[in-house]
Structure 1
Amino acid sequence: MPAIVGVVQVISVGSSSIFNIGDVYKMMPISTAKTFSGSGSFNTGDGLKVTNHYSTTNTYDSDGIDQANIMNL
């Protein structure tokens, strides 16, 4: 279904971002990332109380490739 779009002002687009207006079949950003976070991370909300005694994060990764970008064109 066609889209009718008015004026759009783009200030900035990140290096691994996609900006699209209108119809699209497939959108594939070419980027991968790995995030290590400890216990109690990424909690959101009001009035949280997180208690972690002796918390550690295991960052050892024995494999060489987790997710490839092969054929992601």
Structure 2
Amino acid sequence: MPAIVGVVQVIAVGSGAVFHIGDVYKISTLSNAKTFAGAGSFNTGDGLYVQNHQSSTNTIDTDGTDQGNFFNV
């Protein structure tokens, strides 16, 4: 069913986001990301104690390509 939409102001749309007004059959968003983090980066909890004297994160990626999201539609 068609909709009547008034004024719309879009400030920003992220790279993995969808902005849609009106009729739609299917919306499928695709995004991928690579995250590098050092020791103790994603620890969560109460009273957490992390002791890292020397830490280095290896960000060298020699394979050229990573797993894609070609068939995730």
TM-score, normalization by structure 2: 0.59
Contact 2:38–2:55 (CA<8 Å) still a contact in 1? yes
Counterpart position of 1:37: 37
CA distance in 1, matches of 2:70, 2:28: 12
CA offsets 1:22-65 (integer angstroms, 9 cap, x no match): xxxxx853111000000001111110010001100000000111
Counterpart position of 2:48: 48
TM-score, normalization by structure 1: 0.59
- In structure 2, the gaps of 5 or more residues are 1-11, 19-26
* Structure with greater Cα Rg: 2
CA distance in 2, matches of 1:28, 1:52: 41
CA distance in 1, matches of 2:47, 2:34: 29
Runs of 4+ in 1 over 4 A off after TM superposition: none
Stretch deviating more after TM superposition (62-71 or 29-38):
62-71
C-alpha displacement at 1:16, in angstroms? Answer: 1.3
Give the superposed CA RMSD.
2.5
- In structure 1, the gaps of 5 or more residues are 1-11, 19-26
Q: Percent identity?
A: 59
Stretch deviating more after TM superposition (28-37 or 40-49):
28-37
Letter in 1 for 2:64: G
- Equivalences, count: 56
